[in-house]
Amino acid sequence: MNKNKDDRDGGRPELQPGVDYINANQDEQAEIYGYRRSGMKTGVTWFFIVLSAGLLRLVFHWVPELMLKATHCRCSLAEASKVLVVEYFKKYKRNFVKSIHEIHAHSVCLFPRATGYTVWVCLQDLLYFLVDASYERQYSVLRSGMNNTGEGGQPLDDLNIPATLAAPAPNGTIKEVDSVRVFSCKKILYLWDLDTESFYRLAGLDAGQSAEDLHHYRGLHWIEQARRRLIFGDNTIKVPVTPINQLLFLEALNPFYIFQLFSVCLWYSDDYMWYATVIVVTSVVSLISEVYQMHRNQMVLSSTIQSADNVQVVRDADQVETIPSDHLVPGDVVVIPPQGCMMQCDAVLLQGNCIVNESMLTGESVPVTKTSIVDRSDVVYNEKEHSRHTLFCGTQVIQTRFYGGERVVAVVVRTGFLTSKGSLVRSIMYPPPVDFKFQQDSYKFVGVLAGIASVGFIYTVITKYIRGLTASVIALDSLDLITIVIPPALPMAMTVGILYALQRLKKHKIFCISPRSINISGVLNCICFDKTGTLTEDGLDMKGVVAVSQSLSKQLELSMIMSPSNLPHDHLLYAMATCHSVTIINGEQVGDPLDLIMLKSTCWDLDEPGLDDTNKYDMMMPSVVRPSAPDIVVSNENVENEPPLELGILRQFPFSSTLQRMSVITRQLGAPNFELYCKGSPEMIASLSRPETVPVNFSEQLLQYTYQGYRVLALGWRPLKISYIKAQRINRDEVECDLEFLGLLVMENRLKKESTPIIRQLHKANIRTIMVTGDNLLTALSVGRECGLVGPQQQVISIKALPPHQGLRPRLTFHATTANTPASPVVITQVDAGVGINLEDDTNDSYCFAMEGKSWGVVHEYFPDMLQKLVVRGAIFARMSPDQKQQLVLELQALGYYVGMCGDGANDCGALKAAHAGISLSETEASVASPFTSAHANVSCVPILIREGRCALVTSFGIFKYMAAYSLTQFVSIMVLYSIDSNLTDFQFLWIDLFLITVFAIFFGRTESYKGLLASYSPPASLLSVAPILSILFHLFLVIIFQTFCFFYVQQQPWYVPFNASTADEIYAGHENYAVFSVSQFQYIILALVFSRGPPFRQYVYSNYLLSGSILVMTVCSIVLTMSPPQFIIDSFELVLPPAGDPQADFFRWQMILISVVYSALAFFVEYFIIDYLCYRKCKSKLHNVDKSKKKYLAIERDLREDKTWPPLSPSDADLSGGEKKELMLDVRKLGETVKKAEVNGHAPGAVTTVTQFQSSL
């Protein structure tokens, strides 16, 4: 198995021969094994279950796959009655045991009767299995269909559903079958394919359907809809809400509560009544509160997610019928109402346009326009490529746009959990396991404690048996050791620090839906930032417009930048006024911020009149723009003599990231012809324009503006001599060509004031920062330098990768860029027909890489070994798609980084979910994809989260070490006293367990995070590393020495009375008990103080008033217990004190205090000097071998630092310069040809290097 590939694929292992898979080579790839029941194995298993009084069945409840293997035999999937689904995620695997059901067509035939309408004998039970919900016995859709037929006079007895099943094939087509085998896993149905003898995932109409196929749907008959519902199930996204009594029973079977039950029974049998009762009460209260909170969370999530409505569907006779949205199936044609609606399914628009708010899925509150998909057989529907034609489940349709009396209709392609909303809910219900060393080590450490308990158990049994004690006494004392070494209060204590951290994060307006991620955020050493909306402001400022003008030499060139208000009434102004996606909702203009700024700068008004006003535009889309200046005639009077200046927008081709442009077809009122205006990335518009219209200084001007961080778009125009009908049906690639280049639109994206100081603070803490954005490379680089993410003089090397093309092998080249900042703009020199940028000859050790998404895709596929070097030194990743952002996060994690992702929720959901700690700056529903959501839309939340995460991690470490040291300290006390058949008394146990340990564990986590600067190193993340293990061992060694010394030292006193084991039933304690108990209670207090660490991750312990106060009170009480306890305390604790009035005995009491003081000094010396200073800070760095480290990036960084010959800069750079200095050349006249080649090859080949490879961010 290729481990590196596993890491890059998110933990998905390579396909192994002889193993069956579902979702092969996909994100949810899983192995699947078939099993059939064995009568003999089942009988033997249940015999042992009965023999073990149900204990074996309890183990099977915890590990269901063991029950499967104990009662079933492996077989082929064709013979299987159950399947074991094994899902891998990095080093983890998750098992699901599912039953296979077979649906037979003859069982679902409908034979309606005159009364009762008995339908489908086995339908209710079958559908309950499919979607985990109960169904009504009489479906309203069936009843509706039968009533309609009955009213027509046709007898109901003549109605029969076809005796076959409508089962979707893997390619999305519907095939007729007599029966089908299915099973459900993670809310997705899998069907058996007889041809390939494998299970495939249930697909909607989004698989293999062409646009023409989708347009062929005219509505399903109610019978066909009912048949499809049998397979697809109800169109609902239901989060199962477990009944509270069932939830209580299931939680009570948790191993933690079972262990507590075992401990309590043991304590009651040993007459340890007080603490056992306290544990019972606290456990019951904890269980009930936990179950109540779980049930409440399920109810809230279910009510938030689940929604239903009545929808209108088109039937096969072109009739419209209203049905519940639960009954929708793929293939139904739904009518979108003019006033809008909440989408209950994923559907593709076939007719009309819609304005949709997709904030629930994307985090973008800006409404988007959805247009109908073209009716073409050569266009295969793809959700990502055709998202502008897809209405996604959970999104809000605000308005619809249609022509005349036509309906806005869409065909349903996915329902239920197959939808985009369903996928999001599934990711919440089945989150990937968190890869964090601390959680893994905590389980291993509990196993170590269990091993210690086993040793003590065996030792106690042997020694007590040798001394002739009864079997009941040996059993009770031996089992009691297990409850001491593995404290039942450990899980409760571990969550305390997290709960306090949650409260502190809420004070900073940071909300968390995954508390387990808080500890992980404490070790983050790499933060990825989105640019727009995260580091920079969402809004844009209009810098100006650069129009095309004619120079004295009769050549076209770009003029100086000017305000849009100074533009003449010509095509450049018309393009700015019409080429946008702005619409009017409730009297306000809404749309993309860039489009809003552009339209506002023109001082033109947008009007969307009703249908009655559209006849003058020959029924075009009712959107009109007109100037608002008072000197322009806008009245409709005397239109024939002097028509006002108005432009009607007939059709809009929406922005496509693949095409890098958008366009509109317009017509001026009174004009005979239509006109097309196009807006997009400069190089794309230049490539679509006629070469003679591209200004000669286009490249020079473009390079200046983009390098200074401005957002640059280009505008183009062409006349269209076509009819209205053709304008409605023509494809965009037929009209988006032969443009006349109009000019550049220059906008400014301001940096947020918090960005620069936060980046600087993270760098001081040795936390790496990366920008990953969808914007263009030069703009991203300029913002990176401005905010300090890239150093002012740091060398940046641009990566260019070419895929294989026409027999050529894939290529990877490195190109140096200048270190100039926007404050000192790049020096431009004219060299023949190109533009050269003077660059430094040599790179330095602090260079970093910058690359675009296209190059990333090529490197990721063809240069996987080189990718690790590029990721380690990568600082700017531009033009990255959402999938590529997620790939980058996974690559960083594979190299050993703990990665945080900070984004505004738009297009960042995949990366936010994949990161160790994702921080969403959006408060919309998209934040459910991120563990953390900040109400403050800036990056100031990042150091706050890291600071609180470090505090929570150190707290968890401290509590864990304290609980482990407490259990081992008590274990030592018991083992020492067991040597004379003595023990601690009930009240002594109660004092230690309840008043000392529990109080400290509760208050331990109240210490707040350190308020100073972030430390330059993170706290340890592994419990099983050298420092924590040595810490516990050293303290255990001290505990053993001091308790053993006191045990033997008290026996040397002249007043000492030996303990009589024969009277242990009446007198349980003795002088040995007093000595061991006295010193041990101070050890518990000192350990709490020692493990409560302060700076640089937490405040000083004295700032935690409750903890420091409780330590002070408990210390005073312990001194009183040691020196001179009241009589009722002596009686309750059954203390046997040194005789009163004896000077030597009184001095012994003081000696116990002095011994505790000496122990305190040694404990602090061990923890802070030996462990913290010597082991963690000094020796760790010297003994750390980076070649064997799990942090692979350390070795790669070392190699990059030492290798002065890498990276090899492209020879073409020097060739183009014609001199000693390297220059990057941009050929002006060949720009259009270069970009067209780039569309085919993924990049521009040859010696000409295109610097500005980017697309528009609309």
Question: What does residue 637 show for φ and ψ, rounded to 5 degrees?
Answer: -75, 145
Find out whether 1073 and 989 touch, Cβ atoms under 8 Å: no
- From the list 1081, 1089, 1103, the residue with the least C-alpha distance to 995 is 1081
Find out whether 874 and 770 touch, Cβ atoms under 8 Å: yes
Q: Catalytic residue numbers?
A: 530
Q: Is 585 helix (H, G, I), strand (E, B) or coil?
A: strand
| Bridge partners of residue 919, in order along the sequence | 902, 932
Torsion of CA 1092, 1098, 1100, 1101, to 10 degrees: -30
- Residue 103 makes CB contacts below 8 A (sequence gap 6+) with 126, 165, 179, 180, 181, 182, 230, 231
Q: Is 533 helix (H, G, I), strand (E, B) or coil?
A: coil
Find out whether 780 and 876 touch, Cβ atoms under 8 Å: yes
Q: What is the DSSP letter of 431?
A: P
C-alpha span between 841 and 820 (Å, rounded): 15
Q: Which residue has the tokens 């059993």?
A: 475
Q: What is the DSSP letter of 1046?
A: H
- CA 541 from chain centre, in angstroms, equals 32
- From the list 1047, 1018, 1057, 1067, the residue with the least C-alpha distance to 1176 is 1018
- CA 171 from chain centre, in angstroms, equals 30
Find out whether 775 and 768 touch, Cβ atoms under 8 Å: no
Per DSSP, the residues of 717-754 read: EEEE---HHHHHH--HHHHSSSBEEEEEEEEE-PBPTT
C-alpha span between 1223 and 1210 (Å, rounded): 11
- From the list 323, 329, 412, 335, the residue with the least C-alpha distance to 140 is 323
Tokens read off for 583: 């619409």
b/e per residue, 729-760, with b = 16+ CB within 10 A?
ebebeebbeebbbbbbbbbbbebbebbbebbe
The tally of CA atoms less than 13 A away on the side-chain side of residue 84 is: 23
Question: What does residue 576 show for φ and ψ, rounded to 5 degrees?
Answer: -65, -30
Torsion of CA 591, 594, 598, 601, to 10 degrees: 100
User: CA 1083, 1085, 1091, 1095 torsion: positive or negative?
Assistant: negative
Q: Is 1113 helix (H, G, I), strand (E, B) or coil?
A: helix
Find out whether 516 and 439 touch, Cβ atoms under 8 Å: yes
Q: Where are the alpha helices (DSSP H) in 1052-1104?
A: 1071-1091
C-alpha span between 596 and 604 (Å, rounded): 11
- From the list 773, 717, 714, the residue with the least C-alpha distance to 747 is 714
- Residue type, position 1075, single letter: A
Tokens read off for 620: 């075009």
User: Most distant CA pair in the chain: distance in Å?
Assistant: 128
- Residue type, position 529, single letter: F
b/e per residue, 212-225, with b = 16+ CB within 10 A?
bbbbebebbebbbb
C-alpha span between 987 and 1133 (Å, rounded): 5
| Bridge partners of residue 667, in order along the sequence | 648
C-alpha span between 687 and 1237 (Å, rounded): 10
Find out whether 924 and 359 touch, Cβ atoms under 8 Å: yes
